[in-house]
């Protein structure tokens, strides 16, 4: 069965969601992310995708105190991303309780540093963020679109040790119009050795079933949970 990983996105320490990464679309769902995390845990969820949107915007870790609270008061396996550009930021994330960290922009802008993290922490603790906009890798909070294409980008990082990949179709993020199944099929076909985590567009249990049928091992859920399109009880 496909692994379901709920997401908590943080702005000013609050649980929010954006649409297509646009900060102007911010909607606050809960003032206390710990309350949300505990709810996930109560329904048997084991893993959490925690994103520091303030960090993604500023290029440095910001919401690490929220990470500390969630790690201290839940048993969730937390992967953390957003604003991790320096070795010191990664140290703070792990010291604050993250079990894994996700790097996207740094894998493009400072590949030497990202490769160093893989060597230092191991590929089971470092996730590649391979987010796609108009067919190319998007970075810097999805504000910049590079000339790098998804498949070669992931293949290159696999050769450098990466095995875990989160790939978001930016155009579908927060739109609740279904995931890009074809994109994930191609990614799995061309990089069968990676653990691909799909993200963006999921709006129903049928979407989860379609991803699972396509062979996608894991999926991140955000707005579909917060808007009640998918019920936690149905994931048990």
Q: Is the pLDDT of residue 118 over 90?
A: yes
Q: Is the pLDDT of residue 174 over 80?
A: no
Q: Is the pLDDT of residue 175 over 80?
A: no
Q: Which 3 state secondary structure label does DSSP give 49?
A: strand
CB 83 within 8 A of CB 89: yes
Question: At CA 218, angle to CA 51 and CA 97, rounded to 5?
Answer: 40
Q: How large is the average pLDDT for residues 59-79?
A: 97
Q: Is the pLDDT of residue 57 over 80?
A: yes
Strand partners, 136: 133, 149
Query: Over the stretch 96-107, which tens digit does the pLDDT of each residue have?
Result: 999 999 999 999
Residue ranges making up the domain that contains 29 = 3-235
- Residue 186's pLDDT is what? 96
Query: Over the stretch 189-207, which tens digit does the pLDDT of each residue have?
Result: 999 999 999 999 999 999 9
Q: Which 3 state secondary structure label does DSSP give 175?
A: coil
Q: Is the pLDDT of residue 69 over 90?
A: yes
Q: Is the pLDDT of residue 123 over 90?
A: yes
Residue 87 structure tokens:
């070795």
Catalytic residues: 9, 131
Percent of the residues in the chain that have a pLDDT greater than 90, as a whole number: 86
Q: Tell me the whole-structure pTM to 2 decimals.
A: 0.94
- Residue 143's pLDDT is what? 81
Query: Over the stretch 152-166, which tens digit does the pLDDT of each residue have?
Result: 999 999 999 999 999
Under the banding of pLDDT at 50, 70 and 90, the label for residue 8 is very high
Q: Is the pLDDT of residue 23 over 90?
A: no
Number of domains in the chain: 1
Q: How large is the average pLDDT for residues 171-193?
A: 91
Query: For position 101, which CATH number holds?
Result: 3.20.20.70
- Residue 144's pLDDT is what? 86
- Residue 197's pLDDT is what? 98
What mean pLDDT value characterizes the chain? Answer: 94
Residues 208 and 230: their CA atoms lie apart, in Å, by 10
For 12, residues 6+ apart whose C-beta sits below 8 A from its C-beta are: 54
Q: How large is the average pLDDT for residues 144-149?
A: 93
């Amino acid at each position: 069965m496909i692994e379901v990983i709920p997401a908590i996105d943080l702005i000013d320490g609050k649980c929010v969601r954006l649409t297509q990464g646009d900060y102007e679309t911010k909607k606050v769902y809960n003032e206390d992310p710990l309350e949300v995390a505990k709810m996930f845990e109560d329904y048997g969820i084991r893993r959490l995708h925690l994103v520091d949107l303030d960090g993604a915007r500023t290029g440095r870790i910001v919401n690490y105190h929220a990470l500390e609270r969630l790690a201290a008061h839940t048993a969730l396996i937390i992967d953390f991303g957003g604003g991790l550009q320096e070795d010191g930021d990664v140290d703070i994330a792990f010291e604050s309780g993250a079990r894994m960290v996700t790097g996207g922009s740094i894998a493009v802008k400072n590949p030497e540093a990202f490769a160093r993290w893989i060597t230092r922490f191991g590929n089971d603790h470092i996730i590649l963020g391979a987010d796609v906009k108009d067919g190319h890798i998007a970075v810097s909070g999805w504000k910049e679109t590079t000339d790098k294409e998804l498949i070669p980008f992931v293949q290159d990082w696999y050769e450098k040790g990466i095995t875990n990949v989160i790939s978001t179709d930016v155009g579908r993020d927060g739109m609740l119009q279904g995931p890009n199944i074809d994109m994930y099929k191609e990614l799995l076909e061309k990089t069968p050795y990676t653990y691909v985590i799909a993200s963006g567009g999921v709006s129903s249990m049928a979407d989860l079933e379609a991803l699972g049928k396509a062979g996608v091992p894991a999926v991140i859920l955000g707005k579909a949970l917060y808007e009640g399109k998918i019920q936690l009880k149905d994931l048990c």
